[in-house]
Amino acid sequence: MFSPCERILSAGFVVGMLVASGSLLADEKKEVALKVGDAGPAFRLTDDTGKTWNSADHYGKKLVVVYFYPGDFTPGCTAQANAFRDAMNTLTDKGVEVVGISGDTVATHEQFKTVQKLNFALLADPEGIAAKKFGVPFGKGAKVKGKDTGGKPLEIERPGTAARWTFIVGKDGKIAYINTKVIPAQDAKNVLEFAGKAEAK
């Protein structure tokens, strides 16, 4: 079954989607591979600027939010990204860094970040390398045709699709938080609440 991110259309945003045949998330029944207290998986991916984002350069310094989402330029995922964008000043004050990961390409991430004026890194995981390390279900991609909010035509091919799961890696480098039932617009709020409790300890 497709997530609301894949199927809901919002005002001012038109998107037509041809989804590859087969199960979207073939491993959706797989149990979570990580538990709170486990070491945060090490990974390297390319960010929206074409540079390498290495987890080793970020773990242990801040609370690192690693959120996986199905795809750029879809309503639910846009709402989720914008909520993090709008909360970024408060998150930064609480020592939180945010990275979003999907199966989209670097070029698509660059477009999405520009259109939505996002203020955090988007990482390209077209083969699901990081998703698999975190135990996140990862399935077939999709072809998306539509228009961005500025009316510019978009033709996007997403190589793969991740489930919407959010993790927080604590300052000790261990998994501190796992949410496998993320509500897009509430994700940033939940992360803020967790960061506030962590800050108070």
Check: CB of residue 13 under 8 Å from CB of residue 152: no
Q: Give residue 98's pLDDT.
A: 98
In a domain, 121, yes or no: yes
Cα–Cα distance for residue pair 190/167, rounded to 1 Å = 11
In a domain, 9, yes or no: no
Phi, psi of 19, rounded to the nearest 5 degrees: -95, 135
What CATH number is attached to the domain comprising 197? 3.40.30.10
Sign of CA dihedral 49, 52, 57, 59: positive
In a domain, 18, yes or no: no
Q: Give residue 11's pLDDT.
A: 33
Residues 6+ apart with CB under 8 A from 41: 34, 55, 130, 133, 134
**Into how many domains does the chain fold?**
1
Q: Give residue 32's pLDDT.
A: 54
User: Which residues of the chain are under the pLDDT cut of 70?
Assistant: 1-32, 145-149, 200
Domain that holds residue 152: 54-66+81-201
Q: Give residue 145's pLDDT.
A: 64
What single string gives the DSSP state of each residue in 90-110? Answer: HHHHTTEEEEEEES--HHHHH
In a domain, 36, yes or no: no
Q: Give residue 163's pLDDT.
A: 97
In a domain, 43, yes or no: no
In a domain, 173, yes or no: yes
Q: Give residue 110's pLDDT.
A: 92
- Active-site residue, 5 included: no
Question: Of 25, 77, 98, 124, which residue is the catalytic one?
Answer: 77
Residue with token string 């538990």: 35
